[in-house]
Structure 1
Amino acid sequence: MTEREHEQTAEQLGAFLDGELAEAEAERVRDHLATCAVCQGELHELMQLVALEAPAPVRVVAAVGGEAAAPGQAPAPITSLAEASARRAERAGRGRSRAWVLAPVGLAAAAGMALWLGRDRGDGGGGGGGGTTPTAIALAPARGIEGRLTWGPAAAHRPYQVDRAGAPAGETVPLKVLAALEERGDQHGLGALAVLAGDGKRAAEYLARAAASPEVDSDRALVALAGGDAEGALRLLEGALALERVPNHRPGEYLMSYLAAARWNRALALRDLGLPRAAAAEFAAVAAAGEPGWADEARRRGDELRAADERAAADSARVVAAGPGFVATGAGLTVADAVAQPGLVRMYVYDAVRAAPDAARVRTLRPLAEALDRALGSRMVAHVDAIAGRNFAVRAPLARTYAALVAGTAPADLPRYLAALRRAGEVDLLLGVLLRLDEGRRVRAADLPEYQRLAASTGEPWFELLAAEQTAERARRAGAPSAIEAALGPAFARCQREPVVYRCARVAATLADHYLDGQRLGDARRVLRAGWALARSSADRFGQDLLLPLWANLVSMSDDPGALPLVRSYADEYRLRSADACRGAAWSHDMVAMALTNHLRLGQALRELAALDPACAATDPDLQGAFLRAHLLRRGGADADVAALRAAVATLRTSASPAERAVLDHIEGRLLVERSPREGQALLSAALAAAERMPPSDVLAAKARAYSTSVLVLEAGRTGDFGRALTLLARERRIPVPARCVVGVAVEDERRLAVVRDAAGVDHGVYAEDRTTPTLVSATLVPAELQRPLAGCTTISVLARPPVQGAPDLLPPELAWGYGAMSEQVVTLSPGHLIVHDIEPPAWLGLPRLAGRTVPPTATSLAGAAATPARVLAAMAGVGLVEIDAHGLVNAGDADASHVVLSPGPDGQYALDVAAVRATRLTSAPLVVLAACHAATAAPTLHQAWSLPDAFVHAGARAVIASTDAIPDAAAGAFFADLTGRLASVAPAVALRDARVAWKSTHPGDSWVDRLLLFQ
């Protein structure tokens, strides 16, 4: 282009930006701008002038190379770019000179700071047509958001810079630009600009209306991050990053750019979740793409995250390495260590105080105690001073013996030593010794009562929490899961009030592990969330390492379709933190494969396992890994893989407990049942028989029993042996199989089975392998052709395996049916009728008082503040009919089944929940009517039914009536009065069916009565 043509283009820039050029001229200007850095600079400066001199209320920040108006200075208004161009011409010499000076170092970057809205390509960037008027705006020289936008005009790199005074970051966009985008229907662009402006609410609205795309999802993730929802951001980014996981996919330049943006945003989400290693790895991947500006910033961010985590890990490792020497000598740990790792240092200070041979040694520990008190709000100085004041003529030999015990030399005469400690009243030494007399620093069962008593006498939360941990460990060894929760539940509640660094993370980890064993995912999530927050806020790296694999386990077990990105995140962090690279990688792949399996994406799960580095493939799976592989290899697995798994199972058997051996028999039986049916069924039957001989409270045995039953039932259905399927379902409930009028249902993975035994005792069944998602559509499980044979039945017993147990619409409401073995006769109840009503729920729940209930003179009333969970359960034990009129709540995020809200007791407990009911014994076998919303909602467990109705049946109730739906307060009284009146003359299933039909005859729109279920 000639100098004259260049000058002509430069003179047209103002008209170009105002949209006043004909299309041919505008196209020529665009072509020139693509190659001319000088004109790019001229254009950029023009946009700054408009931005700086725009009329109120628009506020615009200067772009790269520009000059913003001084604070408080109001620039003269300019109404068009042409006017701006004319004003600029008045200072052309200075302006042109500045443009030329900037050209070598910054014009390309400066041009990238302008939002270009050129010709409409047809899709409007977000759905909608539009004209051809180009619009532009200058952006600030630095960005105020950490994340990356994928919307092209705002995707270029600018350094991140925010005001440390805490003012909200945001760029104000001229109304002209917004109007142009509105006219074009570019919802994505409007959303991106709202993100830049810091208007999350408006950004979310625009992006929700934009045409669905990975780019839009990536930008929506920024809105979620700004709102503090890092998990939500990861869910949105899963789709945006899906192409990365397509085998052999090689994205083009455009896809590489938006994938890099999505990875950047994922890194921020991982960081916000407390997963620094995974975040650093994502930033490293962005840096490897080599994008100008973004690569350097990504490298810096990743290095900072990695270095900070390495420092935390090194601090923790250093304290652990120095701890034994510090206990022996009183030297080796510093005040800086106490500040960096206060929980770990506190543990070693307690031991060093015990091992100190004299008061002088104890006093040398005072600076550390002072640092701990400042960091933790503890009473370590008081403890050090108290021990320094003890009579060391008596204590010194006892302390030397303790120091030797810590070093590995047991007392020559342990009973004599313990007796001496008790006589001397050296409580702290006795607590330390009792903790070291069994392997793994566990208190012996015989010593536990004394340990609990001594811990309570100290008044120190540290020791009281440690006693709760020891109690729970003994309960675990004894196979008493309810005792685990009884010990750790109050301890965890105390941690919420009085956080104790290090100890509370261990309490949370042990309690969450217990909940995960029982597949109580909501309860595990509630505990892990609190424990993780404390471990992060206190820089408790040891606690984080305890909790991290539990988080991964939790999300891998969920059937929530959005859980997969969370599994990847926690599993990646675990892998990157693992000292054993191969074991960490194998475990990480297992977690992701488990999640994929739970979502019925079995082919992807197999590919995930195959993606493990061959150098690590020799790592033998643990019990969970073996179960996963048997699940995936039962069909179509290579012979070599099947043989390898059988060898791994054989190895695991050599050191397995009886319950673990039952699980291993199940694993091998599951693997072989379709390859070698006789051998597979024999192993499954052996697992089932062995598990049935073990206590019902043994969680592993319960899983072996439940999972073996599931496979055997489905195999019976697959081979057409419907009678055997019903027999197995009845055996699981420990009842005789009904001779007539019974329905059996089981689902697992893609398989489903429904069996009907009609009024004549003839069996019918449907087996299919057509499930593609874990979502349970219970209304379709018993098809019409199986319902027809039930026409002659007075009542219908339903034997359903979890998760079908408790589904509200398995059979039509016009039938008299229920879960369990239904009686066809009137149920004879024990004397006594208890009505629990007029509850006073805790004010902070915000629940309204329910309408008052009229209590018949023959019934006993338990109402108001007296209707606490403890008093209600006690009153239920001696009556035949119980009605509870109360609110019911269910929160899938924090609990696994519904609970009934009662009046709070002295301990603040207001929830009548599954655990409390299962721990009760209802000796009078009452019929229980739960007139509370959602009271029949069950947890998504697969090895046992976990709901309030099932808990009442487990506790001894003859029958339970409850709803999975909301119950309108205005209708509840009349309906349940009619229902309980009918129970005196007909079978419970008939009473419920007749009450439902009668109510709908006068209230045809009240579908809530269809959700009332009977459990018997």
Structure 2
Amino acid sequence: MSAPEPMDIHDQVHAFADGELSVEEADAFREHLGTCETCQADLDDILQLQALGGQLAQVDAKASVSGAVAPASRVEAAPVRAFRPAWSRRRNWVAAAALSGSLAAVFAVVVLRTRNTGSDETQLLALAPTRSLEARLSWAGASAHRPYGVLRSGDERPRELVPLQMLAKLEAQGDLQGLAVGHLLRGEREQAADYLQRASSSPDVDSDRAVVALTKGELESALILLDGVLEKHPQHAQALWNRALVLHELGLDALAAEAFDAVALLGEVGWAQEAKERAAVLRRQLDGRRGAWESAQQAGRVLALEGTPFPDEVARAVPGTARNWFNIAVWTAPSAEHVKALLPLARVLDAHYGGETMARYAERVATLDFQRRGPLAARFRDVLLGKFDGAKLAPLAKEFAGTAHQDILLGLLPLAGGLPAHLDVYEQAAKSLGDAWLTLNVERERALAEYARGDLAGAEARLLRAVSACESAKADYRCGQLEHLLAHIYKDEHRLVESREHALAGLQWARQSQEWKLQADLLLVLGDLARFRNAFALTRAYLGEQALRDRSCSARRHVHESLASLHVFALQPKAAREELQKAPSCDVPFFLNGGLVLADLARLDPKPGDVEQVREGLKKLDAAGWLRPGEKVIATHIEGRAVIGSDREAGRALLRKAIDEGSRLGSQDPVAAKARAYSYSSLILDAGSTGDWAGALTLFAEETGVAAPTRCALGVEVHDERTLVAARGPAGELLGHQDASRRSPDFDVAALVPPAMASALKPCEHVHVFARYPVHGQAGLLPPELAWSYDTGRKPTAPGVSAPRPLVVYDVDAPASLGLPRLRSWELSGGPSPRRVELTGAAATPSRLLAELAEATEVEIHAHGLVNLGVSDASLLVMAPEAGGRYALTAGEVRKQKLKGAPVVLLGACQAARTAPYLHAPWSLPVAFAEAGARAVIASPIDIPDAEAGPFFARVMERIRAGASAATALRDERLRELSARPDSWVKTVVVFE
């Protein structure tokens, strides 16, 4: 019998996969495999089918348990030796066939060619015929179109069966993006995020990073990533698609539809059709909502003026608008019969809101004397038609106040411009009806009057009470209106977290009741809030949606001015001017934001007539009566800001006037406070432009309320394109530097102070630093060998407690829901102390800590620090949760306290010195402690290592107890640490005094 012919080496791939080759044959085949693409592809196919067989067995086992597959049709688990088909040598796509029973369509094996580590590799993923993620993945091995389909039960996170063998192979190849995608498809988001973080940045990787952020609900992070991709690659298909999904999750469906349109235009197989369908669905829903609101407005008008019945289905769809028009129709009704005709609508609305309020109101009005009521109803009808003579309003209000017909004044007074002059009459009329819908509007009108005269605190307190009452009254539309006004007030006060909370609450009410115009108004507020904290991607999204929804002149003007201000901040003056030129003229040439932009353009991109345009526009704004007290101060600042470049003396005088007026209005008017801060900035930079370093330092000190420095002081201002650094050395010598070379808002804080200036300050025992946002609180401003601190204003008074009282917070039981690791136990520094208060475990709650802070003379807080813009603008400290779940100690809560012991405060928490992005004032936890009365605060703006932080901070505190200042103690301990480890995190620790 003749010996068998030797096997062709290409035919050994199955034996190699099954482990049947000898050691010598396997080594030879491995050498061949490194250069043979055909065998590489076959081996991938075999391994994938082996994995697929195991998956099918698992699926079939689950199906048989549930009774979905009869035992006779069960597919046996694939053996280790897979069947060996005659593979085609030329293909890019392979489908697994001959699968029996209903499982034949469960999986499709997809083979895609992708480039890895410099050579072509063929990757395979066993993927279901429908995808589990709405998002698009950019990694080539999972980027093909599959219809989207998930179970409606929603019991589990969407996931697919990606074999571990494939993940191991991807890891061996160093394909971090592919590995991340595999984990993401398996539902393992954290692992996916970790691998993508380690992958080199690219458009595809950033798009996949955005997908992970989207699945985690981190919508703003996802939007930032996607906008970054599309800025450089406008037709990146996956980024366009994923941005549409993020916008939809944000509730910005008009913008999402446009993004899907852009995907459809690319014409990709499968994706284009799905994108077209998704865009059509979003537009159909938007058109339905807008159409319902517009129908309600039209139906209400013809109801009130012509008596045409209001459709029941429209009333149910837009109940708030229907209720408003019901009242208006009662007030215009010329006879009892017209009022009785409103009873069907009253009953529909009562069914929605509960009770019989509107039906009883209509029945009572129908019994009144219409010979007496008719003339007043006719006057109100004239108001609706625009024919009313305003001079007749006062006598009418006086005549009908307190009568059975005074309810008509509830429509007549606000629509005819009779508020706030007749608020008492208005309130009397509302209370006489006992309808919460109307009495809540009284509170809103009173709050508007308080807001107009600058009493923001009074308006806030009134609105908070009204919101609480509104929720119990289920007055949906009124709730949305109240939340909108409250959000607007908090925005003016720069309380961004609270403003966003109420804006989102208002938006929820507005969407629930399909109030289209109110939704648009709240989108404007949200856009402004994003702009105030430099969240450009979110600002563009909210304002872009607003631009597509609201075509009113004022709304369009506001959008363009806001976008122009973003371009100014990004130092793109030409783009800012182009955006400003798109804005329509609405009775006035610009609003205040547009005036600020134009004042900056007069410096950044000057054109003939800029300054004159600013001055003329401000005069028209004032004459129109649109400016509240604080806004008048802002207007003065804007004029000074525009003028100072061409007429220094006039500009300085205007800026000084804004400072004086802002100081006079005080902290009660946050808009005036902003004008004051902006004016100091302009004056400081003007002083620097003439080399007046002493004048600049005097202005820094004056703004914070301290005496002008005579030695060892540094002032830093970074604003738009300009950077100013002024100093007094150890002998009082003046040093300074200013330039206008910045072309990006980003900067290196360590490079702001020229080396020669830093060297001149080295002999100082302590350098006081005056810094404005965005520099205040940042680490590395001066070299580590200098003792320096950020100045926070007037020093606190002498301690108001009789004996030392240390307060230490450690071993805090953070909420389990945050998933934070437990910090190591701390060794208490300072030795035994009978008066020391220790807060640990579940007792370390925010309220308990705030109570103990009042008497403390020394404070150490060792806890987790977080940045959560949904809770606080600045960083926060994670305490043990209260009974109601509250766990965060925020800067806003600390600021309200009075620290009678003038303590040194050590914040041993990550990112505790992180500063909020306010343009008018520094704001952070350390600043809040300083304002509350701390004489010094020590913290870091970055994450700090748990194991090293405790011993380091303990040694710093020991030096302070021995008599060193906080800045000196930190400097000495920092140098000791850096001598052993030059790159240590201790360089980031900062002192605030």
Q: Fold match, TM over 0.5?
A: yes
Give 1:632 deviation, angstroms.
4.0
Aligned residue number for residue 575 of structure 1: 547
Amino acid across the alignment from 1:444 = P
5 Å-filtered alignment, 1:854-865, equals none
Higher alpha-carbon deviation: 11-20 or 359-368: 11-20
Give 1:289 deviation, angstroms.
1.9
Give 1:713 deviation, angstroms.
0.5
Compared CA separation, residues 568 and 902, structure 1 to 2 (3 A) = closer
Query: How far, CA to CA, are the matches of 1:180 and 1:295 in structure 2?
Result: 32
Give 1:280 deviation, angstroms.
0.8
Are the counterparts in 1 of residues 57 and 76 from structure 2 also a CA contact under 8 Å?
A: no
Are the counterparts in 2 of residues 709 and 728 from structure 1 also a CA contact under 8 Å?
A: yes
- Could you list the per-position Cα deviations for residues 256-307 of structure 1 after superposition, in whole angstroms to 9, with x for gaps in the alignment? 5xx1222111111111111111011111112222223322222221111112
Compared CA separation, residues 147 and 436, structure 1 to 2 (3 A) = same
Query: How far, CA to CA, are the matches of 1:602 and 1:241 in structure 2?
Result: 20
Match of 1:535 among 498, 507, 510: 510
Aligned residue number for residue 729 of structure 1: 700
5 Å-filtered alignment, 1:118-517, equals 118=113, 121-123=115-117, 134=122, 136=124, 139-166=127-154, 169-173=158-162, 177-178=166-167, 180-244=169-233, 256=235, 259-327=236-304, 331-352=308-329, 368=345, 371-372=348-349, 375=352, 378-382=353-357, 384-385=359-360, 388=363, 392-393=367-368, 397=372, 401=376, 404-405=379-380, 407-408=382-383, 422=402, 433=409, 436-437=412-413, 443-444=419-420, 447=423, 462-463=437-438, 465-492=440-467, 500-517=475-492
Higher alpha-carbon deviation: 489-498 or 179-188: 489-498
Query: How far, CA to CA, are the matches of 1:300 and 1:277 in structure 2?
Result: 14
Query: How far, CA to CA, are the matches of 1:398 and 1:610 in structure 2?
Result: 56
Compared CA separation, residues 911 and 438, structure 1 to 2 (3 A) = farther
Compared CA separation, residues 814 and 297, structure 1 to 2 (3 A) = closer
Q: What is the SS of the residue equivalent to 2:144?
A: coil
Query: How far, CA to CA, are the matches of 2:741 and 2:606 in structure 1?
Result: 20
Compared CA separation, residues 373 and 191, structure 1 to 2 (3 A) = farther
Aligned residue number for residue 1013 of structure 1: 992
Query: How far, CA to CA, are the matches of 2:564 and 2:676 in structure 1?
Result: 24
Q: Does 1:702 align with 2:673?
A: yes
Amino acid across the alignment from 1:298 = A
Match of 1:819 among 778, 791, 800: 791
Query: How far, CA to CA, are the matches of 1:583 and 1:411 in structure 2?
Result: 28
Are the counterparts in 1 of residues 488 and 499 from structure 2 also a CA contact under 8 Å?
A: yes
Q: What is the SS of the residue equivalent to 1:157?
A: coil
Give 1:315 deviation, angstroms.
1.3
* Identity value in percent: 31
Q: What is the SS of the residue equivalent to 2:735?
A: strand
Give 1:612 deviation, angstroms.
7.8
Compared CA separation, residues 631 and 163, structure 1 to 2 (3 A) = same
Q: What is the SS of the residue equivalent to 1:333?
A: coil
Aligned residue number for residue 75 of structure 1: 75
Give 1:909 deviation, angstroms.
10
Give 1:731 deviation, angstroms.
3.8
Q: Does 1:546 align with 2:518?
A: no
Query: How far, CA to CA, are the matches of 2:667 and 2:790 in structure 1?
Result: 24
5 Å-filtered alignment, 1:596-615, equals 596-598=567-569, 601-603=570-572, 606-607=574-575, 609-610=577-578
Compared CA separation, residues 705 and 226, structure 1 to 2 (3 A) = closer
Query: How far, CA to CA, are the matches of 2:724 and 2:632 in structure 1?
Result: 28
Q: What is the SS of the residue equivalent to 1:147?
A: coil
Are the counterparts in 2 of residues 277 and 305 from structure 1 also a CA contact under 8 Å?
A: yes
Higher alpha-carbon deviation: 812-821 or 898-907: 898-907
Give 1:158 deviation, angstroms.
3.1
- Could you list the per-position Cα deviations for residues 29-87 of structure 1 after superposition, in whole angstroms to 9, with x for gaps in the alignment? 999x9xxxxxxxxx9999999898556556599xxxxxx98899431444589726389
Query: How far, CA to CA, are the matches of 1:840 and 1:443 in structure 2?
Result: 56
Amino acid across the alignment from 1:219 = D
Are the counterparts in 1 of residues 780 and 987 from structure 2 also a CA contact under 8 Å?
A: no
Q: What is the SS of the residue equivalent to 1:502?
A: helix
Give 1:309 deviation, angstroms.
0.6
Query: How far, CA to CA, are the matches of 1:200 and 1:423 in structure 2?
Result: 67
RMSD between superposed Cα atoms in Å:
6.1
Amino acid across the alignment from 2:575 = R
Aligned residue number for residue 101 of structure 1: none
Compared CA separation, residues 458 and 231, structure 1 to 2 (3 A) = farther
Give 1:215 deviation, angstroms.
1.2
5 Å-filtered alignment, 1:967-1006, equals none
Give 1:709 deviation, angstroms.
1.7
Query: How far, CA to CA, are the matches of 2:421 and 2:669 in structure 1?
Result: 19
Amino acid across the alignment from 2:495 = R
Give 1:941 deviation, angstroms.
2.6
Query: How far, CA to CA, are the matches of 2:580 and 2:773 in structure 1?
Result: 33
Are the counterparts in 1 of residues 243 and 259 from structure 2 also a CA contact under 8 Å?
A: yes
Q: What is the SS of the residue equivalent to 1:316?
A: helix
Compared CA separation, residues 159 and 792, structure 1 to 2 (3 A) = closer
Q: What is the SS of the residue equivalent to 1:241?
A: helix
Q: TM-score, normalised by structure 1?
A: 0.72
Query: How far, CA to CA, are the matches of 1:80 and 1:915 in structure 2?
Result: 64
Higher alpha-carbon deviation: 647-656 or 972-981: 972-981
Query: How far, CA to CA, are the matches of 1:867 and 1:197 in structure 2?
Result: 39
Aligned residue number for residue 929 of structure 1: 903
Query: How far, CA to CA, are the matches of 2:955 and 2:690 in structure 1?
Result: 49
Aligned residue number for residue 594 of structure 2: 625
Query: How far, CA to CA, are the matches of 1:541 and 1:904 in structure 2?
Result: 39
Are the counterparts in 1 of residues 450 and 456 from structure 2 also a CA contact under 8 Å?
A: yes
Give 1:312 deviation, angstroms.
0.8
Query: How far, CA to CA, are the matches of 2:747 and 2:35 in structure 1?
Result: 62
Compared CA separation, residues 344 and 744, structure 1 to 2 (3 A) = same
Gaps of 5+ in 2: 1-9, 19-28, 62-67, 89-94, 99-104, 837-842, 979-983
Compared CA separation, residues 994 and 279, structure 1 to 2 (3 A) = closer
Q: What is the SS of the residue equivalent to 1:737?
A: coil
Aligned residue number for residue 746 of structure 1: 717
Query: How far, CA to CA, are the matches of 2:165 and 2:857 in structure 1?
Result: 69
Compared CA separation, residues 1007 and 292, structure 1 to 2 (3 A) = closer
Are the counterparts in 1 of residues 804 and 835 from structure 2 also a CA contact under 8 Å?
A: no
Compared CA separation, residues 364 and 919, structure 1 to 2 (3 A) = farther
Q: What is the SS of the residue equivalent to 1:479?
A: coil
Are the counterparts in 2 of residues 759 and 790 from structure 1 also a CA contact under 8 Å?
A: yes
Q: TM-score, normalised by structure 2?
A: 0.73
Aligned residue number for residue 106 of structure 1: none
